[in-house]
Amino acid sequence: MTGTRLRVYDDTRALFHMPDGVIYLDGNSLGALPLGVAERVARVITAEWGDELIRAWNSAGWYEQPRRVGNRIAALIGAEQGSVMMGDTLSLKVYQALAAALDMTRRKVVLSDTGNFPTDLYMAEGLIATLGRGHRLRLVAPEEVEAALSEEIAVLYLTEVDYRTGRRHDMAALTAKARALGILTVWDLAHSAGALPVDLAGAGADFAAGCTYKFLNGGPGAPAFLYVAPWHAEVARPALSGWMGHAKPFAFDLGYRPAGGVERMRVGTPPVLAMAALEASLDIWDRVDLGEVRARSLRLGDLLIAEVERRCPSLKLVTPRAHAQRGSQVSFAFADGYAAMQALIARGVIGDFRSPDIMRFGITPLYVGEADMLRAAGIIEEVIAGEVWRRPEYQVVNAVT
């Protein structure tokens, strides 16, 4: 989609549905609903699925959708056109990336950090157990990653922005050092894509994966993406060799032959309806300057930090103050953080909680602004200073925190 450039928040706020009285600071977990989604998905259901039936795989471009949407995502993560494939979940995509990377080297050690998202670590553990050839996962503290790089390491496997603290790794510097040591890199961009400018091509990353339901506002269960650097595209081995990644899927050969390029990283049937919802959100992103998004995010984060620290000294900031080291969230540690967050949510300030004591507030400038930060800080003060969080109803732990 092309059109006039949108001013972040001034123009984009009206393009999202937001319930009255809500300050939504959880877009780093699930993005808000773009207003164009319902119409887009309804059109796919009625005009494409309804009228075209199975013909829509060709007539409506369903078959090409993972590649088409992948190219739109590529523009947001500094990737080359034709290097990004959509589909499946982030867990599957990081598994594919790590498996392909390990297949390219004789080294055995996967290096990650203790701030990595658990599913990434679980996937690594499962893959290593399956390989059973002496591979092992080594974890270090986030700030110790660079010093831990050595010629023993096979793959550097990191999430760029820590999901708990919002601490950001220096992708360019770590990738450059890894490459000099013969280490392949796999980056998880779950908290980067749509939050800050990413330059995969410039950094020389080998593989990357990310989800689209957070800052990209693709909706619950929105498909993930996988990046394969062009120099690996024809040799990367797809560990999950599904029929959609076959060179000729509709020849129905009994033996697997990978398709050319990143197309081989397709697995099963793409989620057409979910991807249609994502496309509606990308219509907004096509008209937004990520640099402006980033600048506003940092200003909003600075404002929230200053106001909360002034009003609530019992909350301890765990997010880096330095802009270069920060993603697009602000996190505070508080011993009774879960109950405090429930009290905030009941008052319309929606953030979330991460064990053991982290209160997270996502900064999503497309639909939150300075007034939201100030109002949120005032309500946080009310909850903390008034010890509202002590009420029994806020002690009940929900299935999703």
Full domain range(s) for residue 296: 13-30+289-394
* Domain-terminating residue out of 239, 262, 285: 285
Q: pLDDT tens digits, residue range 14-31?
A: 999 999 999 999 999 999
Characterize the bridge pairing of strands 109-113 and 136-140: parallel
Is the separation of the CB atoms in 330 and 319 below 8 Å?
yes
Would residue 56 count as lying in a domain? yes
pLDDT given at position 389: 93
Is residue 295's pLDDT more than 80? yes
Q: How far apart are CA 142 and CA 177, in angstroms?
A: 16
Q: How far apart are CA 328 and CA 167, in angstroms?
A: 9
Picking from 40, 37, 43, 34, the residue whose alpha carbon sits closest to that of residue 14 is: 34
* Domain-terminating residue out of 232, 256, 285: 285
CATH code where residue 118 lies: 3.40.640.10
Q: pLDDT tens digits, residue range 348-381?
A: 999 999 999 999 999 999 999 999 999 999 999 9
Over residues 191-207, mean pLDDT? 98
- The SS3 of residue 18 is coil
Is the separation of the CB atoms in 288 and 3 below 8 Å?
no
**Active-site residue (options: 67, 72, 168, 214):** 214
Is 24 among the catalytic positions? Answer: no
Is 117 among the catalytic positions? Answer: yes
Q: How far apart are CA 83 and CA 109, in angstroms?
A: 26
Residue found under tokens 């598994």: 95
**Active-site residue (options: 16, 157, 163, 213):** 213
Q: How far apart are CA 87 and CA 327, in angstroms?
A: 25
Looking at the fold, whether 229 and 310 belong to one and the same domain comes out as: no
Would residue 401 count as lying in a domain? no
Q: Quick one: 302 exposed, middle or buried, by C-beta within 10 A (0-12, 13-18, 19+)?
A: middle
Please give the DSSP secondary-structure letter assigned to residue 248: S
Q: How far apart are CA 312 and CA 26, in angstroms?
A: 20
pLDDT given at position 393: 94
Q: How far apart are CA 383 and CA 241, in angstroms?
A: 51
Looking at the fold, whether 127 and 142 belong to one and the same domain comes out as: yes
Over residues 259-266, mean pLDDT? 96
Looking at the fold, whether 261 and 320 belong to one and the same domain comes out as: no
281: its two tokens = 């959100």
* Paired residues of 156 in beta bridges: 111, 185
Over residues 136-155, mean pLDDT? 98
356 upstream amide cis, omega within 30 of 0: yes
Q: Quick one: 146 exposed, middle or buried, by C-beta within 10 A (0-12, 13-18, 19+)?
A: middle
Picking from 400, 351, 375, the residue whose alpha carbon sits closest to that of residue 24 is: 351
Over residues 271-293, mean pLDDT? 97
Q: How far apart are CA 142 and CA 120, in angstroms?
A: 15
Is 206 among the catalytic positions? Answer: no
**Active-site residue (options: 117, 163, 367, 394):** 117
* Domain-terminating residue out of 243, 258, 285: 285
Q: pLDDT tens digits, residue range 209-233?
A: 999 999 999 999 999 999 999 999 9
Looking at the fold, whether 92 and 226 belong to one and the same domain comes out as: yes
259: its two tokens = 């398709």
Is 177 among the catalytic positions? Answer: no
Is residue 2's pLDDT more than 80? no
Is residue 1's pLDDT more than 70? no
Q: What is the mean pLDDT of the chain?
A: 97
Is 213 among the catalytic positions? Answer: yes
Higher-confidence residue: 44 or 3?
44
**Active-site residue (options: 157, 264, 360, 394):** 360
Looking at the fold, whether 369 and 229 belong to one and the same domain comes out as: no
